[in-house]
Amino acid sequence: MDFLNRILLEWELATQIPPDIFTLLLWVLAALVLVRLIMYWSTFARIIFYKITTPRLIDPKPPVSVVIAARDEYLNLYENLPAVLEQDYPDFEVIVVNNDSTDDSAVLLRNFQQQYPHLKVITLEKNLNFFKGKKFPLSLGIRAAKNDILIFTDADCKPASPQWLNHMQSGFTNDTGIVLGVGQYNTGPGLLNRLIRFETFMIAIQYLGLALAGIPYMGVGRNLAYRKSLFLREKGFISHYKIPSGDDDLFVNRAAPNTTVNIRIHPDAHTYSRPASTLKRYLIQKRRHLSTAKHYKPLHKILLATYSTTALLLYLFLAINLALQQFVLLSCFLFVINWLNQLFILKKTAHKLRIKILYVLSPLFEVMLLMLYLVVWTANLFSKPAKWK
């Protein structure tokens, strides 16, 4: 009863007129929680209600082309390429653009060609830097593709099942130009692995949820598909060829308004790769990714900024209220509402996507990611991020 009386007392103080500065701080916190409730239910929750379909294996299927750009990826190609080449699909080719590799990738790919006649290899003897990053080798692979439906992954990625191509191709209808897939990271020991997988999951439900809301803004090159005709109509990567990264998300960002975008989230449609094993490598990777986001369209930048800013301000105003020892119970109550809502939706979406994450610790991971983003953003102000190898 004493606890309830204290809650009622704080509520009476919070509704006093005129409000004081402490009351305003509480209402700002309440507004932030409300905004986050709306964001979660208007975006992420769409995935919960999305109906996953399984493609009929007996239906006639159009031919597809898989395009992979690789540079010094001998070990990854040795481990992952057979899973791509051995997909259970009636008609497909795999194009690997070997871009100025200094390892034994060329020898490995020649050996694979003897075993897999549907493997096509394009070799660049030196790095022709017309485009930055992977855009030039990918452009060569796309133009060499004989099929209209293109499916992309990376050399360090492995399809979740032999039905990967079936699922990704099934996302195309007559008016569909882009299909967004899910690229997961392998489970491993340590806090860094859990943090990376949590962040990857959050990014996935953002771009998948916004795509379902009719606001597609990005995809990941680890698992992405679009039509060659769309690529040519959009003049490829020309609009952003000077930007080293963005062969995946910037192309989707530019082309999505001009076509229909579908998603494929069946567990068999995922790809898996190894996450960064050290904090340094992870930060280098994040520097490239965050340097691309600033080139998104204004609406997309506003939406993404809203996600991160409301999270940052929520924890900031919660900390202020607790430090001032004002409205402590109501502040904690608001935080619990936010956390329970987050817990419910993240648990449901993770189950739908068959992704294992520690959603119970989502507030802790959010704070850690916000701090890391601040470090990365500051570093990008003073120097350019590293280029694709």
Mean predicted confidence (pLDDT) in 108-116: 95
Q: In the predicted model, is pLDDT for residue 17 greater than 60?
A: no
Mean predicted confidence (pLDDT) in 14-39: 82
| Per-residue pLDDT tens over the stretch 27-36 | 899 999 999 9
Q: pLDDT category, 12, cuts 50, 70, 90? A: low
Residues of the domain holding 192: 64-279
- Look at residue 381 in the predicted model and tell me its pLDDT: 74
Q: Is residue 59 part of a domain?
A: no
Which residues have CB under 8 Å from 71's CB, separation 6+?
98, 99, 100, 101, 137, 388, 389
- Look at residue 49 in the predicted model and tell me its pLDDT: 93
Q: Is residue 141 part of a domain?
A: yes
334: which 2 tokens?
A: 């608001």
Mean predicted confidence (pLDDT) in 107-127: 91
Domain shared by 273 and 360, yes or no: no
Domain shared by 197 and 310, yes or no: no
Domain shared by 76 and 180, yes or no: yes
Q: In the predicted model, is pLDDT for residue 388 greater than 60?
A: no
Quote the number of domains for the chain: 2
Q: Among 279, 310, 343, which residue terminates a domain?
A: 279
| Per-residue pLDDT tens over the stretch 275-321 | 988 988 888 888 877 778 788 889 999 999 999 999 999 999 999 98
Q: Is residue 288 part of a domain?
A: no
Domain shared by 146 and 201, yes or no: yes
Q: Give CA–CA dist 241/221, Å, rounded.
A: 16
Q: What is the DSSP string of 126-139?
A: S--TTSSTTHHHHH
Mean predicted confidence (pLDDT) in 324-351: 90
Highest mean pLDDT among 12-21, 237-246, 274-283, 347-356: 347-356
- Look at residue 46 in the predicted model and tell me its pLDDT: 96
Domain shared by 325 and 251, yes or no: no
Domain shared by 228 and 108, yes or no: yes
| Per-residue pLDDT tens over the stretch 214-253 | 999 999 999 999 999 999 999 888 877 777 777 888 899 9
Which residues have CB under 8 Å from 386's CB, separation 6+?
284, 287, 288
Q: pLDDT category, 376, cuts 50, 70, 90? A: confident
Q: Is residue 32 part of a domain?
A: yes
Q: At 333, give phi and psi (nearest 5°).
A: -60, -45
Q: Which residue has the higher pLDDT, 358 or 218?
A: 218
Q: In the predicted model, is pLDDT for residue 360 greater than 90?
A: no
Domain shared by 250 and 118, yes or no: yes
Q: pLDDT category, 38, cuts 50, 70, 90? A: very high
- Look at residue 24 in the predicted model and tell me its pLDDT: 83
Q: Among 248, 279, 310, which residue terminates a domain?
A: 279
Mean predicted confidence (pLDDT) in 319-332: 85
Q: Is residue 389 part of a domain?
A: no
Domain shared by 222 and 76, yes or no: yes
Percent of the chain predicted with pLDDT > 70: 90
Strand partners, 10: none
Domain shared by 119 and 252, yes or no: yes
Q: Is residue 54 part of a domain?
A: no
For residue 21, count other CB atoms closer than 10 A to its CB.
8
Q: In the predicted model, is pLDDT for residue 1 greater than 60?
A: no
Query: 99: closest CA among 66, 65, 72?
Result: 72
Q: At 342, give phi and psi (nearest 5°).
A: -60, -45
Domain shared by 161 and 120, yes or no: yes
Domain shared by 79 and 34, yes or no: no
| Per-residue pLDDT tens over the stretch 58-90 | 678 899 999 999 999 999 999 999 999 999 999
Q: Which residue has the higher pLDDT, 359 or 51?
A: 51
Q: In the predicted model, is pLDDT for residue 93 greater than 60?
A: yes
Can you tell me which residue has the tokens 């040519």? Answer: 232
Q: Name the average pLDDT for the chain.
A: 88
122: which 2 tokens?
A: 């394009």
Q: In the predicted model, is pLDDT for residue 328 greater than 90?
A: no
Q: Among 229, 248, 279, which residue terminates a domain?
A: 279
Alpha carbons within 13 angstroms on the beta-carbon side of residue 113 total: 11
Q: Is residue 293 part of a domain?
A: no
Domain shared by 193 and 138, yes or no: yes
CATH number of residue 111's parent domain: 3.90.550.10
Q: Give CA–CA dist 247/219, Å, rounded.
A: 10
Q: Is residue 366 part of a domain?
A: yes
